[in-house]
Every structure is written in C-alpha cells, then in structure tokens.
Amino acid sequence: MLSNTFAEMEINPDDIRKAEEVLIDGDQFDEERKKFINCMNTLDLLAVPGSGKTTALLAKLYCIAQQMPLENDAGILVLAHTNHAIEEIEKVLKPICPQLFSYPNFVGTVQSFANRFIANQACFELYGSYIRKNDDEMYLYEVEKFYRILNYNKNPPALKNKLFGIANRDFDGTSKEKENNILEFLKSCSFDLEGRKIKLGKTTKIAYTGVNQNYYVELENWKIALLSQGILSYKDSFDISKRYLKLENAQSIKSILQQRFKFVFIDEMQDLDQDQVNLIENVFFTQESDTVIQRIGDKNQAIYSNVSDSGDTIWKTRHEVSPKIYTENFSLNNSHRLTSIIANLVDGFVMDRDDGYKVIGISAHQQIPPYLLIYNDETDAEKLKSKFIALIKNYGLEENPKNTTRGFHIVAWTTDKEEDSDKWHLRKLFPEYSKESKQKKEDFDCLRKYVFLFDHNKKTFESIRKSLLNGIIRILRIENIYMDEESKKHFRKSSFIQRLKDNSEQTYHDFNQKLFDWCYSVVVNKNYEEIFIQYSNYVKNELCELFPNFSVSKSSNFINQEYDYVPICDLGDTEDSKDEIQIKLGSIHSVKGQTHCATMYLETDYHNSETVKLNVEIIKETRKRQQVLGNNPLFFQEQNFSHLNKARSNETLKMMYVGFSRPTDLLCFAVRKQNIENDIEKYKASGWHIEFISP
Ligand SMILES: Nc1ncnc2c1ncn2[C@@H]1O[C@H](COP(=O)(O)OP(=O)(O)OP(=O)(O)O)[C@@H](O)[C@H]1O
C-alpha cells in the first residue's frame, strides 16, 4: 500500500489569504490549520466540534480550485454521508468556485457517488436494468407488497412459516409486532446471491442447501426480480457494487476512477457505515493507486452508523491500522465555536478520547451559562419557546446579524411519533414541525401527500409536477398496471408520458394542460384541497381511458387516506411575526455540522429520555454494598461509563455531544419536571441556571 506520492501540488499562500477573507472574516488560520490546508498526502483529521474541520477543508478546496484544471485533467472527489453536509459545502463554495462542481470533479454523498460511478453500471450488467428507484421507503413498500401475497403452509414449510421463525425466534409479542418483525427482517436482510445465502448483518439466516428448498428460491427470485427492475435499497447499491468490482471485466472501472480522481476528501467521516468505508477503500486505497485520500471527522459525533458488530466505531484511522506508515493522525486543537463554559459541559460527554482530545472553547463571545428550562407538559410549549426568545433578547443576541444568520434553533432526538403516542417528541410540543414537508421525498404512503409535500423550496413547477406524476405512477404500481405485461416492467414518469403520446397527441396535450393548471394552482394559489379533488378524480375517472384494465381497487385506501397538512415549520414564516425572532425546529441529525447562535435542546424519548439514560449504574447494589452511579456529564462531570458498552447510554452521549456543541452563545436544555425532580440541586450546583417555565 502506498503511503502516498501524489504530493506535487502546492497550495498558494495567497489563496489561503483569500480563503481567510471569505471563510473566517479575514482572521488568520493558525499554523496547525495551515499545516492541514497545505498537506497533500493521505491523512485522517480528527478534532473536536467547532474546531474548524469543515472550514479548513473548505479553505483547502478553495485553494485547489484556484489551480484548476489540474494536471492530466485530473479531478477531485468530495464526499460526505448526508445531503445536509454536501449542501453546506455547496452553499459556501458554489458561488465562489463553480469549477469545483463540474467535470472532472464530483461533489456528492457517498451513496450518489456509488450509484453514479459503479452501482448503476453494476445493476445493468448484472441484472439488465439501470437503477430506477434507490430509496428505502419505496423498498419497504415492495417488501410489504411481497409479504401480503405469501401464505402459510406447514409441510413442506412455506416461506412465510420460515420467515416467521427467523424473525420471531424467542420473541413474545402481539401478532402485529411479529408481522412487523418479519417486514423488518425482509427490509434489512442482505442477499449473497453468489454464495446463495441470506444474511442479517454478518449472520447467515437462510442458506441454500438443495433443490427442495423452495422457500429459499422464492425469496431469491423476488430479490432478483426487484434488481431486474432497478429497484434497490440504499444498501443494495453497495452490495452490487462490491460484487461487480470483483469481476474481471470491472477492474478497468477502478483504474479509471483512480486516474480521474487524484484527490478524495471525505467530510463527516464518522458517519459512513461499513459498506461505504469499504467501497471507497476498495476503489481508491489499492497498491497501484496514487490517489490521495483525506478523511475528516470526529468519532464522538458518530450518530448515524456509528458502531461495528464489535461495538467499536467503524472508522479505523490509518494510524490505528498502520502506525509505522502513518505515524500520527492530524488534529486541530480548540473550538472556535464554543465558549469555555459550554465547552466544559460538552467535554464531559466525550467517549473516544485520543491523545490530546479535549474540548476547549476559545470563542471570545460573552460567557452565558447553560440554562435548564423545567416545564410540566406539552401545554407549556409556547411558554417554553417564549422563554427561549426572552433569553435571546435578554443577552441581545438578535441584534447581531451574524447571530441571526446562524440562527436560533430548537432541536430534539425524536421528532415525530404517531398522533396518540405518549413517547415524548418534538412535534408533540410543536405541531408546526412536519418532518415530511422538510424532506425532499419522492414517495409517500398516501396520495394526498403527493399534492402537499413536494419540495416547496423550488420556485419552479418542476417539483410539484414531478410529485403529481409520481403519485400516478405509484397508483399504477399498486394496481399492477404494467408498462409491459410480459416482463412486468412498471411505468416510470417518462414511459407514462410516452403512453399518453402513443394514445394520441390530443390525450398528451390535454393531460399536459391539466398538469400545468394543477401545478399553477398549487404553487401560486395554494389551492391544495381543490387540486387534490381534481387530481384524485382524474385518477378515479380518467386513467381507465388510458388503461382499459385499470380501476381503483387495491389503491383505494392509498387514495382516500387522510393527511393533515401543517405548513412549513419555521415559526417566523407567518406574516404577523415578520419582526419576531425566527426559531427553527429540527432533529439533532439535521443540525449536525451546523453552527447556531442559540440552541434549545429539548429532551425527548428514544426508548427512554436522555436524563434517564445518563443515569448509569457502574456498581450494582448488593446486601453489603450500595449502588454506584457513573459520572453524569449533565453535572459537568467527565463520563466514566462508556467502556461498559451500554448501547442506549453511549448513543445518548454522542447525540447530546452533537446537540450541545452547536451554539456560539446560548445553550438551553428543556426537560420535564418529572424527569429531573430529584436532581435540580445538582444541576444548580454544577453550573446550570435554572428556570421554571410553569409552577
Ligand atoms: N480558524 C478559525 N478562526 C476563526 N473562526 C473559525 C475558524 N475555523 C472555524 N471557525 C468558525 O467556527 C465555527 C465552526 O467551524 P466548523 O463548522 O468548520 O467546525 P467543525 O470542526 O467542522 O464542527 P463540527 O465538528 O461541529 O462539524 C464556524 O462558525 C467557523 O466560521
């Protein structure tokens, strides 16, 4: 393995100066940060929240972009796990270096890279179809559809009996829960189609042992049929890429990619799951490759894939794996985002403390102590928000435009639950939070959502047009109306439009006119209800002219299902609150990587509440000995229990580490009284300011 040789490129100091102007208001990067920006070798950079990892990466990308086109028409590849992380990079760099976002460079999620450069071709060569759907929700729908047609049979054992046994071994729940376990298994299992094994994680659950195993063959056929239609779960993209890259005739793909991408940068590296890490290594980290790979992140913030089967973080740094070749990891000391008081609190949550890893806040902002906001129940929600706003005003935070740009955020771990759930969640307090309206989804569980939940940020009709067409395609799919009966190929938007044209120019013209009117009415006049009626009437009454076999039967629930639309969640959106402070609502996942001015972390239930999960017993009570609890970072103590590998507590450490480390100025923690009643004095003594929202 090469330690690295592609080090000819030198960053121009003048470009660093310009980057400082653009990225950190003309401040100067210190020597440590400049060393990272200048380094053109393969490396891993790990550092605390707010230390400026992303900023330093942006500076480096800015400097490289100034030297484009690169020698031999080489490009750079910039990857992250989430769309959010990519959008942050685009937001800053697209306006000032658009060349970074066009050929031969690629900036995107690991998923989009895998699909575009490997999985799409793999799917075509292995299964005869390019990828048409790559979406876990759509995949779940396929799983459910398949499950519904299965029947029980004891002898010989039918697939349904087998699945029931596999998914519900030692499980004592209701029949609904058992059914959900089967669906969950079908959704999550992976298919080793070469070895003819079906696995969950690393464990083989069903292996093909002979021709009489009809249930195995049935499941395998279903999977192959999906792949042949280009319907893939997210994980499938990596499974088929891995398979494809092993083939003799795919070897050229690796060398083409290595030639094209001489630099690979991965931000938020800790979020990648094992498949993603392996794919990048498999393509770029080979004996013959001279591609430079720089991976940037913070293991303590791994809130996505986070742990391997052994309980360790998935990302193993080069130094961990080959300390002789890679003598150290890069690091950046100090957090520019955090004040020392917030940094002290946040530091107690650290799980993975490499040498010198300590959260030290060096921001010169005023030292505002963290606030504990204690409330009773959901009827206090508005008072809670008002208190947050009052604190923002009290410290004059809204007066600085930079603070307003960074924003004032209420964040929570669990954002959404069913209407009647007693599990605490963000929407229970703030119904204006609507997760689905924030997501740019293409497929939904009822027709109404196709009219209401298109991507409202798009100012053109493109998004609503797509959404309305997707709704029709979904109905045709539910009703088993195929584009081609024999191959059972489903319609896509383009083939549906083609069918209209094939029917007659007039049909096509009439439909287009209708579609335009619907789009106009929804986007311009916001006539959602009226258009939903017209749209669903079209489906019920006019689609049959195009497809004589069509009638609404299986899709009737899908069409009639109610959905209460709640307009977008930013509270400041309403007219009469124009001058008010805008409070944004979001999940911890959605604000990862962001810098806020003020953050209110709302405690919610994920299995249990955060405060409960941080009460960790480290010594059990016996007749002779008292129970001993671990250090609680909520009391500004350094946690000492993560080595016990209690999964719920450890994920809480990471989630709160991310949530608490967002604000430059004000951190509030909102908890229900019943959860912390006995600990209020401890909070006070440790440094929190206590505010009771209601008596
Ligand atoms: N060298 C610097 N000098 C001054 N301010 C900086 C510097 N680097 C970063 N900042 C500021 O600190 C804040 C945090 O930076 P950034 O988001 O890059 O940190 P990060 O390490 O990527 O954080 P996280 O781990 O939370 O993703 C930003 O507001 C950024 O402008």
Alpha-carbon distance 426 to 15, whole Å?
44
Q: Tell whether 174 and 29 lie within a shared domain.
A: no
What per-residue confidence (pLDDT) applies to 269? 96
Q: Tell whether 102 and 247 lie within a shared domain.
A: yes
Q: Which of 310, 333, 356 finishes a domain?
A: 333
356 in any annotated domain: no
337, 591, 664: residue to mutate for ligand 1 pocket, most atoms within 8 A of CB: 337
Alpha-carbon distance 665 to 151, whole Å?
59
For ligand 1, whether the C-beta of 336 sits within 6 Å is yes
Q: Tell whether 222 and 321 lie within a shared domain.
A: no
What per-residue confidence (pLDDT) applies to 596? 97
Distance between terminal CA atoms of the chain? 65
Q: Tell whether 206 and 144 lie within a shared domain.
A: yes
For ligand 1, whether the C-beta of 298 sits within 6 Å is yes
For ligand 1, whether the C-beta of 536 sits within 6 Å is no
**Distance in Å, CA 24 to ligand 1 centroid:** 9
Which residues in the chain show pLDDT less than 50?
A: 1-6, 569-578
For ligand 1, whether the C-beta of 49 sits within 6 Å is yes
Domain containing residue 588:
371-433+570-692
The percentage of residues in the chain with a pLDDT greater than 70, rounded to a whole number, is 94
ipTM of this predicted structure: 0.99
Ligand 1 atom 7 nearest Cα: 52
Ligand 1 atom 6 nearest Cα: 336
Alpha-carbon distance 514 to 380, whole Å?
46
For 558, residues 6+ apart whose C-beta sits below 8 A from its C-beta are: 445, 446, 447, 474, 475, 478
Q: Tell whether 673 and 583 lie within a shared domain.
A: yes
For ligand 1, whether the C-beta of 24 sits within 6 Å is yes
Q: Which of 532, 560, 588 finishes a domain?
A: 560
The number of the ligand 1 atom at minimal distance from the alpha carbon of 297 is 25
Q: Tell whether 602 and 675 lie within a shared domain.
A: yes
What per-residue confidence (pLDDT) applies to 28? 96
What per-residue confidence (pLDDT) applies to 438? 60
The number of the ligand 1 atom at minimal distance from the alpha carbon of 298 is 25
Alpha-carbon distance 408 to 601, whole Å?
11
For ligand 1, whether the C-beta of 51 sits within 6 Å is yes
The number of the ligand 1 atom at minimal distance from the alpha carbon of 661 is 26
**Distance in Å, CA 40 to ligand 1 centroid:** 21
Alpha-carbon distance 612 to 617, whole Å?
11
For ligand 1, whether the C-beta of 28 sits within 6 Å is no
Domains contained in the chain, number: 4
Q: Tell whether 476 and 386 lie within a shared domain.
A: no
> Rounded to the nearest 5°, which phi and psi values hold at 69?
-70, 145
**Which among 296, 337, 450 is positioned nearest to 51, based on CA atoms?**
337
Q: Tell whether 248 and 204 lie within a shared domain.
A: no
Domain of 299: which CATH number? 3.40.50.300
**Distance in Å, CA 359 to ligand 1 centroid:** 13
25, 48, 55: residue to mutate for ligand 1 pocket, most atoms within 8 A of CB: 55
8 in any annotated domain: no
350 in any annotated domain: no
Check the CA dihedral 451-453-454-460 and report its sign.
Answer: positive
For ligand 1, whether the C-beta of 29 sits within 6 Å is yes
128 in any annotated domain: no
Q: Tell whether 622 and 679 lie within a shared domain.
A: yes
**Alpha-carbon dihedral angle through residues 483, 489, 490, 496, given to the nearest 10 degrees:** -30
The number of the ligand 1 atom at minimal distance from the alpha carbon of 595 is 29
Cite the annotated binding site for ATP by residue number.
47-54
**Distance in Å, CA 335 to ligand 1 centroid:** 7
595, 660, 664: residue to mutate for ligand 1 pocket, most atoms within 8 A of CB: 595
The alpha-helical segments, DSSP class H, found in 24-73 are: 31-38, 53-65
Ligand 1 atom 25 nearest Cα: 49
Q: Tell whether 479 and 454 lie within a shared domain.
A: yes
For ligand 1, whether the C-beta of 88 sits within 6 Å is no
Q: Tell whether 588 and 678 lie within a shared domain.
A: yes
Alpha-carbon distance 488 to 652, whole Å?
46
539 in any annotated domain: yes
**Distance in Å, CA 334 to ligand 1 centroid:** 10
For ligand 1, whether the C-beta of 659 sits within 6 Å is no
What per-residue confidence (pLDDT) applies to 525? 81
User: What is the number of residues in the chain?
Assistant: 695
User: At residue 576, what is the residue type?
Assistant: D
Alpha-carbon distance 381 to 171, whole Å?
38
Alpha-carbon distance 641 to 57, whole Å?
33
360 in any annotated domain: no
287 in any annotated domain: yes
**Distance in Å, CA 518 to ligand 1 centroid:** 44
For ligand 1, whether the C-beta of 337 sits within 6 Å is yes
For ligand 1, whether the C-beta of 672 sits within 6 Å is no
579 in any annotated domain: yes
**Which among 255, 234, 239, 292 is positioned nearest to 112, based on CA atoms?**
234
DSSP state at residue 359:
-
For ligand 1, whether the C-beta of 33 sits within 6 Å is yes
For ligand 1, whether the C-beta of 362 sits within 6 Å is no
Q: Are strands 689-692 and 663-672 parallel, antiparallel or unpaired?
A: unpaired
The alpha-helical segments, DSSP class H, found in 246-348 are: 251-260, 274-284, 318-321, 340-347
Contact status, residue 187 vs residue 139, Cβ threshold 8 Å: yes
What per-residue confidence (pLDDT) applies to 5? 39
For ligand 1, whether the C-beta of 230 sits within 6 Å is no
**Distance in Å, CA 614 to ligand 1 centroid:** 28
**Distance in Å, CA 75 to ligand 1 centroid:** 26
For ligand 1, whether the C-beta of 596 sits within 6 Å is no
Q: Which of 177, 200, 228 finishes a domain?
A: 228
Q: Tell whether 188 and 254 lie within a shared domain.
A: no
For 182, residues 6+ apart whose C-beta sits below 8 A from its C-beta are: 147, 163, 164, 167, 168
**Which among 182, 230, 226 is positioned nearest to 206, based on CA atoms?**
182
Alpha-carbon distance 481 to 549, whole Å?
8
For 523, residues 6+ apart whose C-beta sits below 8 A from its C-beta are: 461, 464
**Distance in Å, CA 467 to ligand 1 centroid:** 37
**Distance in Å, CA 510 to ligand 1 centroid:** 54
**Distance in Å, CA 49 to ligand 1 centroid:** 8
For ligand 1, whether the C-beta of 361 sits within 6 Å is no
Distance from chain centroid for Cα 265? 19
**Distance in Å, CA 82 to ligand 1 centroid:** 18
Domain of 411: which CATH number? 3.40.50
Cite the annotated binding site by residue number.
47-54
**Which among 324, 238, 248 is positioned nearest to 281, based on CA atoms?**
238
